[in-house]
Structures are given as structure tokens and as C-alpha cells.
Amino acid sequence: MNIPNAFQVPEFESLLGEYKQHAIDYLTQKDPDKAAEVAEAFANESELLAQITQAFVLKRIAEIREQNYWALQMFRKFVTESDMVDLLALQYNLKRQVLEPEDTSVFPPKPAVMESNDDLLRRFDLAPYQFHTTGTRMGYKFHSLTLDERPIIKIDSEPDAVVMRYEFPKERQPNPVKDAEPRMLEPNSGKVDIAILSRENPDGHASPELLDRVSRYLNRDDIAQGSDDLAVKSAMPVSYRIVATLFTGGEPAHDVQQPDAEAAAWQFAESAHRLSGNVDRLKLGEVLYALNPKRVILTEPAADIACNWDEAPFCTEVIIDVRTE
């Protein structure tokens, strides 16, 4: 990822030269004799003054790196820290969602499961579409992923006044919507189908209760377009397995731990678990080769998987065999 020139870190030798020259120029104005002595000390790296100056320059470079890192966190392209992701999302009044509430009835207490940085940033990227005055796919996707967070707006007329009232939900309910995909299957008909991928079940199947909740929210007067007839349905899982054999050749340089390979495969499967998602054998092979085996044989899936708009690939099992052959 290219970093803007404003955030480039200077080279050590270049910055060291600038520090030395600045010190010499400053002393020349005050005491030319001392300036000459300092210049001579700088020229000899065994001198204590030269070594102290190098230490200060190293410290300064570390400070510049730290300052640049946190400055870049203010930009969507570079943000990675959770606190900064939360701060960035507030630009659209978005807050990190609670996926599973805290459970204090057990010991030790079970902490709440919160929305990941990637999912929150995804909603941040979709947020501008909420302001569109026509029903856009991305707009309906955003509202589905930000379920029940918009306040109910009421406008009442009084003598010589118009009162606008915002009613915010008293309790924030967990949002099980993992992904949403709208489509108008009949062009210019206004009939919009919205597929919902849920976190309620491992395969993404949405319950009738969730579908009803999404439908009620999206059909609000301040969300749905007057010309749109919205119908909400559950996503359809497309099941597959990941079966692979990794060969290390018995060489320490190519050693692969089976749990690490399985974790990498599951992580790949989770990232692909989206509506209209794809399972690319080449990308899956790259994930496994990143663990540095000598050879990988990918048995399943036997072919690439390309899902329709209302389908999501669902990995049912990961089988990794690590051999020393």
C-alpha cells in the first residue's frame, strides 16, 4: 500500500546530517571556535557527542514513525486500530454493533461479542448510500446491516410551530444480519427482493422472526421508496468442503502444523461466506501455500464455486492432511 509523501520517514543518514549541520550552524553564530570543535567531534564516530547525536536521531525517527502511524489511522484506507475504526465510523453516526450480548449469569461472565473492524468498516463504506433519494441496492444493503438503528421520526403540527420528534430505541438489540443483497428481478416493476444472510445459523439461514424484523424496518416510510414493493427472504447456502493434502518433504523449512492449516482454511471459508460469494480454488491454494509447504493437492472443492445473488457458499468441513513425503 502506497503511503503519501507527507508520511514518509526520512533516512537515518540524511536526518543525521541535517541535525549535525543545524548544530554547527547554530554554534557558528554564537561561538565559531566551539562550532569548529563540535564539527571535529561529529567527524569522529568514536566521540561521545557523535554517538549521543546518533541516539537522538534514532529516537526522532521512531517518534516520526509513531506519529505517522497514528496520523494515517484517521484515513479509511489505512485504519486498523479498533478505537480509530470506532472514531472513523462516528462520522456517519455508526457504532459498533453487539452481535451477542454479555452474559453475566454464568461464571466467569461471558463478554459480549462485538462487530469486527472489517464489518464496521464495510457499513462505513455503505453509509453514504443511505442519503440517496432513490432505492439503491447499496442503500437497502446498508439499512439491512444497520438494522433498527435509525430513530423513528415524527412531525407534529402545533399553532405557529412544527415539531420534529426523534424516538430512539430504548434497547439496542443484536443484529444477526451478516449480509444482504437486493435485486429487482422484474425490470421497472418496483418489486425488490432482498436476500438476508444471517448469523443465527452457521449456514446463514435466516429465521422467520429475523425476516419479519428486517421487512418491518426496511418498509418504514423514511427508508423504503414509495415505488418499491419489498420482499425479504433467506439466503440459500451452497455447501462445500475443503479437503487438501500438504506435503512438507520432511524438511524443517517447510514444516506445517495441521491446526495452523485448518485455521487458515476456516478463515478463508469465513471470508467467502457472503451473498453472491465465490470460492476460488486458486485463492484457496494461495492461502495454503502461504504456510510454506513444498506442495499442495486440493481435492475439494473440485471446481470453483460461483454463487448467485441470493446464495452464499457454506463450508461444512475442513480436512487437512499434512504429510512428510
Last residue of some domain: 170, 203, 234? Answer: 234
Count of structural domains within the chain: 3
pLDDT score of 302 more than 80: yes
pLDDT value of position 114: 92
254 in a domain, yes or no? yes
pLDDT band at 133 (very low <50, low <70, confident <90, very high): low
Q: Which residues contact 204 (CB under 8 A, 6 or more apart)?
A: 178, 179, 197, 198, 235, 237, 273, 312, 314
117 in a domain, yes or no? yes
C-alpha span between 257 and 27 (Å, rounded)? 61
pTM above 0.85? no
Q: Are residues 127 and 227 in the same domain?
A: yes
223 in a domain, yes or no? yes
pLDDT score of 291 more than 80: yes
pLDDT score of 1 more than 90: no
Last residue of some domain: 20, 47, 72? Answer: 72
110 in a domain, yes or no? yes
pLDDT tens column, 258-290 = 999 999 999 999 999 999 999 999 999 999 999
pLDDT value of position 51: 94
- Residue that is written with C-alpha cell 452474559 in the block: 103
Q: Are residues 56 and 127 in the same domain?
A: no
- Read off the pLDDT of each residue in 301-321 and give the average, rounded to a whole number: 95
Q: Are 264 and 288 in contact (CB under 8 A)?
A: yes
pLDDT band at 303 (very low <50, low <70, confident <90, very high): very high
61 in a domain, yes or no? yes
Q: Are residues 254 and 128 in the same domain?
A: no
pLDDT tens column, 219-255 = 988 888 878 889 999 999 999 999 999 999 888 888 8
pLDDT value of position 209: 95
Q: Are residues 230 and 241 in the same domain?
A: no
77 in a domain, yes or no? no
Mean pLDDT of the chain: 91
Q: Are residues 111 and 186 in the same domain?
A: yes
pLDDT value of position 252: 86
- Read off the pLDDT of each residue in 44-58 and give the average, rounded to a whole number: 93
Q: Are 302 and 242 in contact (CB under 8 A)?
A: no
Q: Are residues 91 and 169 in the same domain?
A: yes
pLDDT score of 171 more than 80: no
Q: Are residues 60 and 166 in the same domain?
A: no
pLDDT score of 31 more than 80: yes
Last residue of some domain: 51, 72, 93? Answer: 72
pLDDT value of position 134: 60
317 in a domain, yes or no? yes
- Residue that is written with C-alpha cell 471459508 in the block: 269
Q: Are residues 147 and 225 in the same domain?
A: yes
pLDDT value of position 148: 85
C-alpha span between 306 and 198 (Å, rounded)? 19
78 in a domain, yes or no? no
Q: How many CB atoms lie within 10 A of CB 8?
A: 10
Q: Are residues 26 and 144 in the same domain?
A: no
Could you give the count of Cα atoms lying within 13 Å of 273 in the half-sphere of its Cβ? 24
pLDDT score of 113 more than 70: yes
Backbone angles phi, psi at 235, to 5 degrees: -70, 155
**The domain containing residue 241 runs over which residues?**
237-323
Q: Which residues contact 65 (CB under 8 A, 6 or more apart)?
A: 9
pLDDT band at 45 (very low <50, low <70, confident <90, very high): confident
Q: Are residues 201 and 263 in the same domain?
A: no
pLDDT value of position 135: 64
Backbone angles phi, psi at 173, to 5 degrees: -85, 145
Q: Are residues 158 and 296 in the same domain?
A: no
The number of residues in the chain equals 325
pLDDT tens column, 3-19 = 888 888 999 999 999 99
Q: Are residues 61 and 98 in the same domain?
A: no
